[in-house]
Every structure is written in structure tokens, then in C-alpha cells.
Amino acid sequence: MRPFTFHPGPRLIAGHSLHERLHELLPEGPCLLVTDAGVRGLGLADGFIDGLNASGRPTSVFDRVEADPSKETLLAAVDAGRSAGAASVVGFGGGSPMDVAKLAAYLLGSGDDLDSIWGVDIAKGRKLPLLLVPTTAGTGSEATPISVITCENGVKLAVNARPLTADWALLDPDLTVGLPAHVTAATGIDAIVHAVEAYTSARLKNPLSDALAREALRLLSENLLTACREPANRDARSAMLLGAHLAGIAFSNAPVGGVHALAYPLGGLFHLPHGLSNALMLRPVLEHNAEAARELYAELAPILDPALEQVGSQAQAKGFIDNVCTLAADTGVSLRLRDHGIPEAEIPTLAREAMKQTRLLVNNPCAIEEADAQRLYEAAW
């Protein structure tokens, strides 16, 4: 066995009516709950907030998190927690509130300066007790030690360090019932990309991350269209939520690569949702990787189409790319940059910005240089 290290992520509770257990998992004292205005307006967090307050844990709600949260928003959440004397932090919502909650809990607990901890394994301090509750099945942020923040000029920076790992994650599929189809689609495709890129990661790929990535891909691919077309289907919602979580654990151990690297400038510069950005760059990057990752794509292919078990690896790899991209298209998401307001003239800028994502590009199965990135954006346009 070749040496590897694997981190299992937070302790996990999956089920229904989990708001009734929230107070059991947090220390006494004030709590900071981080969410966004949309989730707050839907009332999804009300039971959790009421339960915390009733348990003697007065809860301050910070609901100003936006998509692709900014450094200013993060620091405002930290200030809110400090003013409340927070003894714990709950992140409630999609990837953006959970990313802010993770880093806010760390900064509140450690006292570190934010600009001193960007990067991988630089943050070494202690966070406040942290619990994460996803309301979408996509980012897997509740499973990862990664927080991505949009900084000056739209550049996305990340803190990736084990002290950011939540103490607990709660998976309640009822919180995802009724999500609009386009949100279900984009977040589900995001989770599929996590599984695929973890399985093909050039760094830190290992047998446990592989097993999780394969099972995540199975759950997600078998249930994505049902979840989009039958939004109240709790079996499909449960499978998607678990698949996204497993993919999150997989890629927190075997980090993602080129699809994410080229997706980030679309979010940072044009504010496209992260899942949509991944969907837009999926086929171009998979095709760019096709030869370098041929055997790995071939191994994944029968998960999407059992008939591909009977053909050679080149046909398997092509079949895998075609099947996963067809699945993305069948959700109804338009997969052309031009359909989302991206001017063709901005492609060189996007390619330059993608080159700044060195922590991701190094994980891709083959190199992506600036000229490659420009070609891939052109293919997606």
C-alpha cells in the first residue's frame, strides 16, 4: 500500500426535524448563526433559531451573506460574532453562508489576522465550536475545511486548513425540498464535478477518497434529474444531499482541479453562481484532460452507463464525458457562456485570471497554461 493520509470530516447527523437536536451539539452561551437573506426569508432557519434561544443560547443572526461572499462580508460577520460574545457558530444555507461561518468561527476563536492565513495549511489556531447545516445539495461545504472568499478585483482566495473543519454537520433533506429546479441543477452539477475531480486529482488521491467519489457520483447521477423534475421527492433529495456530502469529503482530501480553476473567474468577475460556472466549463476541461485521465474516466464510465463496461478505455472515457455532459444539459441549464452574458472579448481576461488559481491547477491531470485556458473558454463560449 502506498502511503496516504485521509481526514474524515465532521461528525454527521442525517435525518428529519434536526432543529430539535441542535442545542445538544453546541456549548452554552451566545451563538452566531450565519445565513443569507433568501434562506432567512423562507423561514428555513426559524426552528433552529427558536430552539437555540429556548435552550438558553441567545442567537445573533447574521443574514447579509451574498453569493461569492466578499472579504468585507466575512469581516462584518466576525464583528457581529465578537459583539455578541459568541461561544459558537452555526452556518446555515448554501456554500456561501457555510464558507463565511467556517472562517468566522476560526477568526473568532484564533484571533488570527485574515491576510496571514490565505493558502493551504497555514491556519493552525483553534476555532469556536462550529456546526453546519446545508440547504442545498451541491457545494459539500459542510464537509470541507475550505473557505473561499472574493477579494479585491474579484479574485477568489481560499483558506484550506484542517482547523476550519466543522465539529458537526446536519443533513436534513426537508430543508432542500422546494428548491427551484435551476438551483437544484446547478448545485447538483457542482457536486458531480467535485466527485469527478476528486477521483482524477493529480495530488493526494487515495483509496478512501476514490470510494467516496464513486459512491457520490452514483447517488448524484441517479437522482439529479428526479430532484429537478420532482422537487418534493424526498428520496431523491436525500440521495442528493448525501452524495454532495460524500463528494465534499472526497475533494477535501483529493483536491479539485481545472474545472474549478476556470470556473472561479466566472464567479469573481461576472458573479455567476458557482455551480453554474462549473457546469459551463465541464465539457471543455474534461475533453482537455481526456488522454491524461483516460483510465480514470474509463473507471467512472460504467457508473453512468453500465453498457460502457464492455468497450475499451478510449471509448469508455469518451462515453463518460458525453454522459456526464448530457446529464448536465438535461437539467435544462444552458451550457454556453454567451447565454449568461459573458462577452467574447473578455475571454483573454478570464484566461489570465484563471492562471491565478495555482492551488487548483496543480491538481489537474494535465497542465493548463494560459493559452489552453483561452482555448477552453472559447470552446465554452
User: Helix, strand, or coil here: 272?
Assistant: coil
pLDDT score for 361: 97
pLDDT tens column, 79-109: 999 999 999 999 999 999 999 999 999 999 9
pLDDT score for 240: 97
User: Residue 72 is placed in which grid cell?
Assistant: 468585507
pLDDT tens column, 22-44: 888 999 999 999 999 999 999 99
pLDDT score for 20: 80
pLDDT tens column, 114-166: 999 999 999 999 999 999 999 999 999 999 999 999 998 888 899 999 999 99
Quote the longest CA-to-CA distance of the chain.
62
Burial classification of residue 224, based on how many CB atoms lie within 10 Å of its CB (0-12 exposed, 13-18 middle, 19 or more buried): buried
User: Helix, strand, or coil here: 333?
Assistant: coil
pLDDT score for 23: 82
How far is residue 326 from each of residues 22, 31, 53, 278, 283, measured CA to CA in Å?
40, 44, 47, 14, 10
Domains of the chain: 11-175 (3.40.50.1970), 181-380 (1.20.1090.10)
Low-confidence ranges of the chain (pLDDT < 50): none
Mean pLDDT of the chain: 95
H-only helix segments in the chain: 37-42, 46-54, 71-84, 95-110, 181-199, 207-229, 234-253, 258-270, 274-288, 294-304, 313-330, 347-354, 358-361, 370-380
pLDDT score for 179: 87
pLDDT score for 343: 96
Rounded Cα distance, 328 and 190, in Å: 10
Residues 357/264, Cβ–Cβ less than 8 Å:
yes
Q: Answer left, alpha or beta for residue 341, where phi above 0 means left and psi between -120 and 50 means alpha.
A: left
pTM of the full structure: 0.95
Termini Cα distance of the chain: 44
Rounded Cα distance, 47 and 282, in Å: 38
